[in-house]
C-alpha cells in the first residue's frame, strides 16, 4: 500500500471502519473533529517549535525524528478524512476546485 496505488476513498474507508468499530460516531461531530485536527496540527508543530528553518529542513534526514513527525502528520490526515466522512465532502473534488481558485488568487509567473 502506497500513495501511488491507494485511492483517497480507500483511506476514507480505513478511517470510517475504525470509527464505526469503536462506536465513535457519537463523538465525531464536526465541531469536535475540527478541534481534534487543530490539536494534532499543534502536536506536529511541536517537532519544529524550537528549530531554525535549516534544522527543520533536516528533520527528514533523521529516521527516528522523521518517523515521529510522520505519525503526527498521519493523525492530521486521519482527522481531515474523518471530517470529510462526517460532512460528506469529496476531498479530491474540493481540493481540485480550491487549487483552481488559488491559481487565480496567486497566478503563476
Pair 92, 8: CB distance under 8 Å:
yes
Q: Which is nearer to a second copy, 64 or 73 (CB)?
A: 73
Minimum distance, C-beta of residue 8 to a second copy, in the bound complex (Å): 4
Minimum distance, C-beta of residue 64 to a second copy, in the bound complex (Å): 13
Q: Which is nearer to a second copy, 32 or 64 (CB)?
A: 32
Q: Which is nearer to a second copy, 64 or 74 (CB)?
A: 74
Minimum distance, C-beta of residue 89 to a second copy, in the bound complex (Å): 5
CB atoms within 10 A of CB 34: 12
Minimum distance, C-beta of residue 106 to a second copy, in the bound complex (Å): 6
The long-range contacts involving 31-40, CB below 8 angstroms and separated by at least 24 positions, are 33/79, 33/82, 33/83, 33/86, 34/83, 36/79, 36/82, 37/76, 37/79, 37/80, 37/83, 40/72, 40/75, 40/76, 40/78, 40/79
Q: Which is nearer to a second copy, 64 or 83 (CB)?
A: 83
Amino acid at each position: 500500500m502506497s500513495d501511488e496505488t491507494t485511492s483517497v476513498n480507500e483511506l476514507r474507508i480505513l478511517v470510517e471502519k475504525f470509527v464505526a468499530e469503536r462506536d465513535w460516531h457519537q463523538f465525531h461531530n464536526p465541531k469536535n473533529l475540527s478541534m481534534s485536527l487543530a490539536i494534532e496540527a499543534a502536536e506536529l508543530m511541536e517537532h519544529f517549535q524550537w528549530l531554525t528553518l535549516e534544522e527543520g529542513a533536516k528533520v527528514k534526514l533523521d529516521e527516528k525524528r522523521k518517523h515521529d513527525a510522520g505519525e503526527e502528520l498521519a493523525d492530521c490526515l486521519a482527522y481531515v478524512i474523518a471530517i470529510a466522512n462526517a460532512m460528506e465532502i469529496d476531498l479530491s473534488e474540493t481540493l481540485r476546485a480550491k487549487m483552481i481558485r488559488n491559481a487565480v488568487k496567486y497566478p503563476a509567473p
